[in-house]
Amino acid sequence: MILVSILICAGLAYYFAVFLQNKKVGYGLSFTFIALFILSLVLLISNEYGHLGMQKITDEKTYQIQSVQKGSNLLLKKELGTSGKESVYIYRTPETANKKKPTTTKVDSHVRNVVKTGNYSAATLTKKTTRWEYKNDFYAFLFGISDNNKEFVKQTNTFKVGQDWLVLTTSQASQLQKKMKSKSFQAQMKQEGATYVKDAVTKAMQANPSMSTAEQQQVTQQAEKAFKAESQAKLIQEIKNK
């Protein structure tokens, strides 16, 4: 509506100044519509650059997420550019689990990504998005033609994942996968794992010589799990330090 007002005021100001026979009245009306023209222009500029008639509205939604790689708890981070200051996170949701391409966070300087690791029952993503919206229907009618309603301001993406999740860059994940598939690494882990478990069982039996077979099996399972976690953490740290 404001753009229509600007055109009408400009047209009437010209008409009254040029075509009205009574120049005194014509110039008076012309200056009036010029003033209205300038006022409308100021209002339009104030809306465009100062968001006149608008307010910031924040919307918050939480989604359950899944790992990009099935069978693993992995949150991927892809660094953009050469500086690595900008990045996106790659994930899936139950709705996009079978799609060819995974979901990524928005690439924008006003998008902030936060990852929290803790004892969470499920991996989630909370999107907190702020946009400019018109305060009421009057302002929407006045400036609606500018097409700036729901203009994006900023977004904060908060990922909450369990302690068993890994947060790696795409490059680190590729290195980890390559290392884990290496036959020499697998042979090394098998040998070191057997020694780790044997030492754990020996130590446990020294502390309790009357351990039953079931108790020994339990110690063995716990040792295997501990070795796997420790070796994986060590390998990931080595990759991250490169």
Tens-level pLDDT at each residue, the chain (242 residues): 777 787 888 888 777 787 777 777 778 888 888 898 899 888 888 888 889 999 999 999 999 999 887 777 889 988 886 555 678 999 998 888 778 888 999 888 899 999 999 999 899 999 999 999 999 988 888 887 777 888 999 999 999 999 888 888 888 888 877 887 888 888 888 888 889 888 988 888 888 888 888 888 898 988 888 888 788 778 777 777 76
Cβ-contact 68, 92 below 8 angstroms = yes
* Amino acid at residue number 151: E
Q: How far is residue 28's CA from residue 22's CA, in Å, rounded to a whole number? A: 10
Look up the pTM and report it: 0.74
| Residue 203 Cα distances to 123, 191, 220, 223, angstroms | 37, 18, 11, 11
Using alpha carbons, select from 21, 18, 16 the residue that is nearest to residue 37.
16
DSSP 99: S
